[in-house]
């Protein structure tokens, strides 16, 4: 990201903060970043708990051919992100959960979908008549050029994901920790699994529009993994995941604005630093109960 020509850090913190919000594109960037950070922190926390990071990574990569295909057709890339990610979530949700060999079959099918999706993405790029200059932003994301309409769409997506997750959080937590006991007590484990994958697809599509398909894990995995390293209490851990996601997003935006380096580099670096710090702290003392 190229910093504004007259933007520079000073010893006046108030002035520096005011500079961040001097342009409308940065206001929209902070709005969008905040929305996706909250959704990614909460959904990502359950994704890490349920050990479905591979599925989340596949959904992120599927967003690439979706966005590239939408661009090829002349429509907004967001439609492709949401369409392909939700469709892929439905495919993954339809896979068997029989245990044993079922898990091996699930991983194989998910990997197959991932490889095919990437191939389609590069085909769509090659078929595009002009120079697809947005390829880098599709892969690595960008906080630049976020329109007011896109903020509205991300607001709706985040509200749906967070609202639905709030409604199913308690049974989903039970089903995630001990699915066999949860099923024996009448918890609809299968339905919750399908519902969560759909919410994960919506969240991945939203986050991908900011971080790109290759850097979704910066907000979807690392803050959640860091929080779970620091504390075992579900409510405290989920809240901490959201806080870390917000912190690395805001810090990444501010750092990118005042430098010539891309936003993805800063977000991933800050998130990784937080994870390393948490692991170091955990090595020195037991995890908080």
Domains of the chain: 24-216 (1.10.3470.10)
Residues 110-139, mean pLDDT to the nearest whole number: 72
Residues 57-73, mean pLDDT to the nearest whole number: 84
Residues 60-77, mean pLDDT to the nearest whole number: 83
Residues 242-251, mean pLDDT to the nearest whole number: 94
* 100 has pLDDT over 60: no
* CA neighbours closer than 13 Å in the CB half-sphere of residue 52: 26
Residues 187-204, mean pLDDT to the nearest whole number: 92
* CA neighbours closer than 13 Å in the CB half-sphere of residue 135: 13
Write the pLDDT tens digit of every residue in 28-48.
Answer: 989 998 999 999 999 999 999
pLDDT value of position 258: 83
Q: How confident is the model at residue 167 (pLDDT cuts 50, 70, 90)?
A: very high
Question: How many percent of the chain have pLDDT more than 90?
Answer: 35
What lies within 8 Å, CB to CB, of 33 at 6+ separation is 143, 210, 249, 250, 252, 253
Residues 56-62, mean pLDDT to the nearest whole number: 85
pLDDT value of position 272: 93
Long-range contacts of 162-168 (CB under 8 A, 24+ apart): 162/38, 162/39, 162/42, 164/195, 164/199, 165/42, 165/43, 165/46, 165/196, 165/199, 168/192, 168/195, 168/196
pLDDT value of position 106: 60
Lowest mean pLDDT among 7-16, 97-106, 223-232: 97-106
Q: How confident is the model at residue 2 (pLDDT cuts 50, 70, 90)?
A: very low
Instruction: Write down the mean pLDDT value for the chain.
Output: 83
pTM: 0.84
* 274 has pLDDT over 70: yes
């Amino acid at each position: 990201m190229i910093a504004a020509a007259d933007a520079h850090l000073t010893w006046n913190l108030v002035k520096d903060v005011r500079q961040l919000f001097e342009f409308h594109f940065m206001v929209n960037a902070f709005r969008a970043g905040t929305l996706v950070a909250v959704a990614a922190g909460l959904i990502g926390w359950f994704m890490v708990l349920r050990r479905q990071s591979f599925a989340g990574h596949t959904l992120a990569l599927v967003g690439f051919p979706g966005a590239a295909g939408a661009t090829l057709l002349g429509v907004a890339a967001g439609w492709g992100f949401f369409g392909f990610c939700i469709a892929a979530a439905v495919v993954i949700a339809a896979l068997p959960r029989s245990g044993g060999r079922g898990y091996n079959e699930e991983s194989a099918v998910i990997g197959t979908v991932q490889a095919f999706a990437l191939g389609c993405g590069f085909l769509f790029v090659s078929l595009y008549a002009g120079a697809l200059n947005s390829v880098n932003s599709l892969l690595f994301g960008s906080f630049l050029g976020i329109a007011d309409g896109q903020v509205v769409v991300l607001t709706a997506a985040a509200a749906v994901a967070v609202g639905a997750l709030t409604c199913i959080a308690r049974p989903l937590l039970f089903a995630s920790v001990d699915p066999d006991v949860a099923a024996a007590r009448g918890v609809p484990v299968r339905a919750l699994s399908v519902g969560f994958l759909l919410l994960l697809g919506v969240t991945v599509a939203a986050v991908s529009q900011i971080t790109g398909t290759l850097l979704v894990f910066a907000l979807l995995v690392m803050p959640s993994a860091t929080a779970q390293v620091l504390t075992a209490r579900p409510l405290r851990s989920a809240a901490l995941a959201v806080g870390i996601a917000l912190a690395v997003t805001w810090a990444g935006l501010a750092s990118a604005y005042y430098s010539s380096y891309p936003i993805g580099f800063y977000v991933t670096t800050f998130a990784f630093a937080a994870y390393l710090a948490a692991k170091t702290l955990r090595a020195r003392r037991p995890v908080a109960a």
